[in-house]
Structure 1
Amino acid sequence: MNRLQAIRPFGQRLWLDNLSRELIASGELARLLADDGIAGVTSNPAIFHKAISTDPRYRDELAQLKTDTGLSAEQRYEMLVIADIQAACDLNLPQYHATNGDDGYVSLEVSPALSRDEAGTLAAARRLWLAIDRPNAMIKIPATAEGIRAFRTLTSEGINVNITLLFSLSQVEAVWDAYLAGLAARHALGAPLAHIKAVASFFLSRVDSLLDPQLPAELQGKVAIALAKAAYLRYQARFNGAEFAELKAVGARPQYLLWASTGTKNAAYSDVLYVESLIGDDTVNTVPDATLALFRDHGHAAATLASGSDAALATLAAATAAGIDFDAVGDKLQQDGLALFEKAFAELLLLTA
């Protein structure tokens, strides 16, 4: 068992934060699934911008699509990448079936331009879900107020969602409220729940990058991990207690926390900090290629997520005492993240225009 495979017995799954035709056609994605225990794939506009701009496998199909002047740049983009999502879903399908739908998911994001458009998000999510036509697809939407409302509706319709750009405990709680409400609405109609899978993508390294300059030295590099541990305590309370028991009894799955932005940005910290520190049951860590290689080389797998909870809460209390408003931080980081994704998506559409 290699170091990445050693994470699995602790109840966490690793998803790859990358996708391209080269990754699929070369057999590298299949190798990662087989050898490293990768259990899913995530994508975003920046990932597909890099893929389409550098991978020659897109060139001929894109040139052909551009001959159809009736297609918009976004339609061409979707036609290119939906094929990739389908291929990645198909590679992941055996483990989806082997785990009864716990593993093997592939995420595709709706346009970031819809982040404040509930109706537009719903329409795009439904369209992409039908176009991909795979049970192990996930539609990725941002956790804005409008996105969270759309998430509730999509859950009630039986669509798998990866709700993303979460940076604060209040944002996570709002997402779980929406998930439980969506499941309850679906159950009230007599519709099945067992096939629905959702994750809540909580971003880590960006928190430390923003807050470290505002904090005393003893708190630097600790707040993101502390927030994640606090979120996991709340996850356990919500999904292992009475609140979820009735829905669980009729087949509903809990909404796992997914650790995102797990590549270390500060060279003073361990290059596998956001993987080693947060290994625990009922969680996913979506890992970029570089961090995956680093952990394969020298990472250590252990049950770390559930330990040190008191110290984590003390860290958050100390940061609050130092003047940190975590709700304001969450709002700022979400807006910054949306701006980055909107920029990447706009640049992506220039490639397909």
Structure 2
Amino acid sequence: MGYSWFVGTIGSGRAMQDLCGYFDLTGQSLWLDNLSRALLLEGRLKQAIDQLGIRGVTSNPSILDRALRETPAYYRADLRNLYREHGDAEAVYERLVARDVQMACDLLTPVWEASEGWDGYVSWEVSPHLAHDVEGTVAAAERLRGLAGRDNLMIKVPATPAGVQAFAELVAQGVSVNVTLIFGLPQLAAVFRAYLDGLRRWIEAGGEARAVRSVASVFLSRVDTLADTRLEAEGSPESMALRGRAALALAARSQALYVQIFHGPEFADLRAVGARPQTPLWASTGTKNPAYSDLLYVEPIMWPETINTLPDATLAALVDHGRIGRHAAADLAQDEAHVARLAGLGIDLDGAVAARLQEDGLALFQDSYDRLLALVATAAPPSAP
């Protein structure tokens, strides 16, 4: 089957599942949460698409920073040549990554065409320093689209208030967008309704309804990390029994909100003209706590009309020992009761926790982006300004 990618991760000689039928079996798309030139040039991304059922790719500044640091030889010649031509670290970075994005988009074009634009996308994030700048985000999105030059590109913007406003403007221009750093239900609701607003404006201006595709990236493992820390600090038997369940409660409530909006009257007029819903994408699905299952954020949430974007190790675990099947909706009343119990202990998942995690996630991406640009700058040839 050619699963050499995973030999070093899960050991040779183990029985491994073929995930090519995963989408048909579950109704959920698998995307890979990784992008690097090594994945592209060594054939591993193609392998993941052809043999493991991967239907899309996501990236972020942390992933791209790691790619340049871990495999610098793949970028060195391009970096020096681009610096001679452009001289500015950010301009060099964007053109460097555009080549990776183009190659990944080309590999996924058959998926994009076969799914009629439902899957087959590569996500590329605007600078996280633009998270509170509407006009800057829109301008950066237009620039990155021009550099990539691929129809199956998704521009990635954060779910900050300014990011959500920029998202609506981009959708109104017919741009496909991945909205990231969503940690709570009110944040998700704002994103969903911004999509409806932008989509209606796009269609009213004469745009083709099916030309726009969007996903809403709901981060999971980080929610448990923060909630568990506070539960352990409280230390009572009641609080300790509540650990490891906040993220799945967020996923279940997010899916219920998706069904309410996109299978309900709010979206009915748009669905009637062929518009696509904005689907939930489960992000941050690598398990942080070694005491939990390595597929905690995969197996319980195999719901139709969703996407799970997996880091390499989580994909390897799914191939190795995942239990795969279409799941019914979660017990929403039980999940709401869990959220209420956390609130009773002072853990406000949709308020303070979501806000803190979004701020922390944005700071992490900003730091990665700054380190990435500093690394790019070290490639300047002696004659470069």
Return the match for 1:113 from 124, 129, 143.
Answer: 129
1: CA distance, partners of 2:204 / 2:35: 38
2:82: which partner in 1?
65
Name 2:288's counterpart in structure 1. 265
In structure 2, relative to structure 1, the CA distance for the partners of 1:267 and 1:6 (3 Å cut) is: farther
Sort the Cα spacing of 1:281 and 1:90 in 2 relative to 1 into closer, same or farther, 3 A. Answer: same
Q: Give me the whole-angstrom Cα distance separating, in 2, the residues matched to 1:305 and 1:149.
A: 33
Q: Is the 8 A contact 1:3 1:301 kept in 2?
A: no
- What is the aligned residue count? 352
**How far apart are residue 305 of structure 1 and its match?**
5.7
Q: How does 1:251-330 map to 2 (within 5 A)?
A: 251-304=274-327, 306-326=329-349, 327-330=351-354
One of 265, 284, 309 as aligned partner of 1:242:
265
1:3 CA drift (Å):
5.6
Q: CA deviation at 1:214?
A: 2.1
Q: Is the 8 A contact 2:61 2:365 kept in 1?
A: yes
Residue 241 of structure 2, aligned match among 198, 218, 228: 218
- In structure 2, distance between residues paired with 1:301 and 1:313: 26
Q: Say which SS state the counterpart of residue 22 (structure 2) adopts.
A: helix
In structure 2, the partner of 1:7 is 22
Q: Distance in 2 between matches of 1:40 and 1:217?
A: 37
Aligned counterpart in structure 2 of residue 341 of structure 1, from 343, 365, 370: 365
Q: Per the alignment, in what secondary structure is the counterpart of residue 323 of structure 1?
A: coil
Residues 73/274 of structure 1: CA separation in 2 closer, same or farther (3 Å cut): same
Among 175, 186, 195, the alignment partner of 2:202 is 186
- Give 1:29 deviation, angstroms: 0.6
Matched, 1:128 2:144: yes
Percent identical pairs in the alignment equals 49
Contact 1:3 1:299 in 2 (8 A): no
Structure 1 CA distance, aligned partners of 2:127 and 2:271?
32
The equivalent of 1:48 in structure 2 is: 64
In structure 2, C-alpha distance between the alignment counterparts of 1:227 and 1:4, rounded to whole Å: 26
Task: Mark the runs of 5 or more structure 1 residues left unpaired by the alignment.
Answer: none
Does the CA contact (< 8 Å) of 1:3 and 1:297 recur in 2?
A: no
The residue correspondences of 1:131-210 to structure 2 (distance < 5 A) are: 131-210=147-226
Contact 2:214 2:278 in 1 (8 A): yes
Q: 5 Å matches for 1:17-28?
A: 17-28=33-44
Runs (5+) with no aligned partner, structure 2: 1-15, 232-238, 378-385
The one-letter amino acid of 1:66's match is: Y
- Does the aligned pair in 1 maintain the 2:95–2:147 contact within 8 Å? no
* Structure 1 CA distance for aligned equivalents of residues 142 and 354 of structure 2: 28
CA RMSD of aligned residues (A): 1.3
For residues 194 and 263 of structure 2, the distance between their equivalents in structure 1, rounded to whole angstroms, comes to: 17
- Distance between the aligned counterparts of 1:156 and 1:64, measured in 2? 37
Alpha-carbon distance, 1:325 to partner: 1.5
Contact 2:20 2:50 in 1 (8 A): no
CA contact (8 A) 2:33 2:312 kept: yes
